[in-house]
Amino acid sequence: MRILGLLAALAGLIVLPLVSTGYVVYLANLLLTFTVLCLGMHIVIGEAGQFSLAQAAFFGIGIYTSGLANTAFGWPFPLSVLASGLVAALVGLCIGTLALRMRDIYLALATFAFGEAMQWVFLSWTSVTGGPNGLRIPPATLFGLEIVSDRQAYPVVLAITLLMIWATVLIARSRLGRAFRAVRESEVAALAMGVPVRTTKLVAFALSAFFAGVAGAMFAIYSTYIHPDSLGFQTTILVLTMVVVGGLGSISGAIGGAIVFGLISELLRQAPSYQEIIYGLILIIFMMFAPRGLFAFIGDNLKRFARA
């Protein structure tokens, strides 16, 4: 049944641009981008247990790297995606090195401070990012063709998303994934069993930033404009809500949370001043009453109902 469900979902995603309006295709691109962004946060928080709040900053680094690679160097989209991921991963590696001695709330505060500092950079580095005026992103090129619409971008965005999901599953099932979970449960026990805790943390930060950088390049392929205001703490809270409410430590939870709360964020677009309050309330409610996430909560209640 699970395989049939996955095949049905994949078939629906493939035919989506053929039966939908332009807005629906744009929304699908956005939800797929959120999915990759959430998978990156899933790796560092859900798998490795490192409470990082810098995902929006790495996302912004990916967007600007992709846009500048296209504008200044005329690179094709595959190269700009790779550059976005690698630049974000390099910055993530540096942040991970600085944050190695911190844990829990101190790590969260340090990465939050980095995210706020990066937003200041995005706002102030006018010659590179456009500053408060934002940055116009030229059309990306793929195999000599310009991608100028959401429908043209959709197959590329979908292919990258499927590739990143596959990579996340491989990481979770690998020796590295087991090392992540060992560090998450107990650093002392992991060290006693021969797990290189320091290196494992650094890899988690770098991989998480790489995913966010790739998500930024995905955003740049179908969006023509980016403003630093959309890369602040509100975006970080949104992604954190997606991962926690979807199910912390669950790949399917991260994907489901990205889709559900991506739709909710679109519905709340007309009330931006209330978004952070609503996301905060949702986080509090789920951490109190459904700490395993929305989909585990629904599954548990369905099983209880079936037994009754």
pLDDT in tens, 39-98: 999 999 989 888 888 889 999 999 999 888 887 777 888 888 999 999 999 999 988 887
Distance CA 258, CA 31 (A): 7
22 domain-assigned: no
pLDDT value of position 163: 94
11 domain-assigned: no
**Locus of tokens 């409470």:** 51
93 domain-assigned: yes
88 domain-assigned: yes
Residues facing residue 147 across a β-bridge: 140
DSSP state of 134: -
pLDDT in tens, 87-116: 999 999 988 887 777 777 788 888 888 888
pLDDT value of position 59: 93
Count of structural domains, the chain = 1
- Using the CB atoms, write b or e for 197-220: b if 16+ within 10 Å: eeebbbbbbbbbbbbbbbbbbbbb
Give the residue numbers spanning the domain of 54: 27-232
What spatial distance separates the first Cα and last Cα of the chain, rounded to whole Å? Answer: 23
* Residue numbers of the chain with a pLDDT score lower than 70: 1-2, 5, 271-273, 299-302, 306, 308
Q: Give, in degrees to the nearest 5, the angle at Cα 273 between 51 and 265.
A: 60
Distance CA 38, CA 58 (A): 12
Four-residue CA torsion sign, 230, 231, 237, 238: positive
Q: Give, in degrees to the nearest 5, the angle at Cα 26 between 20 and 248.
A: 110
60 domain-assigned: yes
294 domain-assigned: no
pLDDT value of position 272: 67
Strands 225-226 and 135-136: antiparallel
* Concatenated DSSP letters of 164-200: HHHHHHHHHHSHHHHHHHHHHH-HHHHHHTT--HHHH
Tell me which residue of 248, 237, 250, 255 sits closest to 291, measured CA to CA.
Answer: 248
252-257 own/partner pairs: CB under 8 Å, 24+ apart:
252/295, 253/293, 253/294, 253/295, 253/296, 254/35, 254/38, 254/39, 254/41, 254/42, 254/46, 255/35, 255/38, 255/39, 255/165, 256/294, 256/295, 257/38, 257/293, 257/294
299 domain-assigned: no
- Using the CB atoms, write b or e for 236-267: b if 16+ within 10 Å: bbbbbbbbbbbbbbbbebbbbbbbbbbebbee
**Locus of tokens 């991506």:** 262
Distance CA 231, CA 219 (A): 12
Distance CA 42, CA 26 (A): 24
Distance CA 275, CA 307 (A): 38
274 domain-assigned: no
pLDDT value of position 43: 92
